[in-house]
Structure 1
Amino acid sequence: MAVTQAMDDRGDTRRGLAEDRTDLAEDRTALANERTFAGWARTAMAAIGIGLAFNALFKAMDPAWVPKAIATVFILLGLFLTVMAERRACAVAARLDTHSVKEMAQMNLRVIAIAMGLGGAALIAAIWMLV
């Protein structure tokens, strides 16, 4: 009887450790998801910056709409990247259940994406309205 009890205790301990490892893996995945979103957001900001720089450097190009159109393409690419990163990050976050860490709220990811979208739209409008 004592041998069986010892084996059951060891099995419970192993099961508990396995559950802890699984919980920690899920926490690491949630944090990796946030880092991935941040990486895509940085890439989007770089695309927006490239568009603005192109417009600023080649403003004197003839015809005048060419640098504006190229800048618009880069800014739209940045906005597309932001929206896709937000959707993917929210989809992954919805499937996860964190245990030891507090994950970023999905609403915060949406607020970041919306703010970048509004900023990008304002930049496109400014580029086309400026003479």
Structure 2
Amino acid sequence: MGSSDRRELAEDRTDWAERRTDWAEDRTIMANERTFAGWMRTGLAAAGIGLGFHALFGKLEPAWFPKALASGFVVIAIVIFLAAQAKAVAVARRLEDHRSEPMRGLTLRLVAGGMIAASTGLGAAIWMMP
């Protein structure tokens, strides 16, 4: 095998190694987005549990007790949304994308902010109900 053949083989290996690295980074970006979506679902479930708890046990006495428990779940949902957004943005900042286009930090903040606003409204509505 001549030196030009070895050089060509080395270049081919380098190209394949770079492609595998790019694909791994793309998979990491997509995994980060799936994880963010999973945390959003978990937060929505916590808010739903709070709403369901209030609907089922809203007539308990004293009246503040079911509202406080339901509000606890809403607060948990808000904390989950904040944590998911912060973590997803931090991971997205560290990654250099090659083929996949990661969700931008602003998009992650808007999704999480919408969930937080809706959960805050839900919590307020629970307390306004007679």
> Into which bin does the TM-score normalised by the smaller protein fall?
over 0.9
What does 1:11-90 align with in structure 2 at a 5 Å threshold? Answer: 11-90=10-89
TM-score by length of 1: 0.96
User: Which segments of 5 or more consecutive residues in structure 2 lack a partner in the other structure?
Assistant: none
Alignment gaps of 5+ in structure 1:
none
TM-score w.r.t. the length of structure 2 is 0.97
Q: Return the letter of the residue paired with 2:124.
A: A
Instruction: Compute the displacement of 1:71 (Å).
Output: 0.4
1:5 aligns with 2:4: yes
What count of residue pairs does the alignment treat as equivalent? 130
Q: How far apart in 2 are the matches of 1:16 and 1:75? A: 50
Code of the residue aligned with 1:112 in structure 2: it is V
CA shift, 1:98, in A, is 1.2
1:106 aligns with 2:100: no
Cα deviation for residue 80 of structure 1 reads: 0.4
1:103 positional shift: 1.6
State the Cα RMSD in Å.
0.9
Per-residue Cα deviation, 1:12-49 (whole angstroms, up to 9, x for no partner): 11011001000010000000000000000000000000
> What do residues 65-105 of structure 1 show as CA deviations (whole Å, max 9, x unaligned)?
11000000001101100110010000000011111112212
